[in-house]
Amino acid sequence: MRIGELARRSGVSVRSLRYYEEQGLLTSERSPSGQRHYAEGDVERVLFLQRLYTAGLSSRTIHELLPCVDSPSLENSRAALERMAQEREKLSAHIAELLHTRDLLDAAMAAARRGKECLEEHEAA
């Protein structure tokens, strides 16, 4: 498939796909006229890359992890597993921080509701 179709099917921009190639995260075959052609499995790869980016991983980190995904071996797996464990810890800390922030927001909303109810009661009296 050509780059436009991959972009459409994966929901990312053509620019992003070119960036992924520049970073060594995605590869394509080139036609004699220089057009990029991708395999069917590249849709799933782009979606996987997007999930990693959304989780906060950098291009460099993703590039370090991909050998384990692409060619699992004992050597690749040890290094990648260690790196993934580090990234997982960062994600867990970030999730905990987000949950704490949500709880603070819930408490602020509850206080605002109570204040509004008190104000309405005083106005009604």
Domain ranges of the chain: 1-54
Q: How far is residue 104's CA from residue 31's CA, in Å, rounded to a whole number?
A: 55
Q: How far is residue 46's CA from residue 117's CA, in Å, rounded to a whole number?
A: 50
DSSP designation for 71: S
| DSSP-assigned beta bridge partners for residue 36 | 30
Please identify, in words, the CATH class of the domain defined by 1-54: mainly alpha
Residues of the chain with pLDDT under 50: none
Locate the DSSP E strands across 38-81: none
In sequence order, the 6+-apart residues with CB closer than 8 A to the CB of 112 are none
Give pLDDT, residue 41: 94
Give pLDDT, residue 76: 64
Give pLDDT, residue 12: 95
How far is Cα of residue 86 from the mean position of the Cα atoms in its chain? 16
Q: What share of residues in the chain are helix, strand, coil (percent, to 5)?
A: 75, 5, 20
Dihedrals phi, psi of 37, to nearest 5 degrees: -130, 135
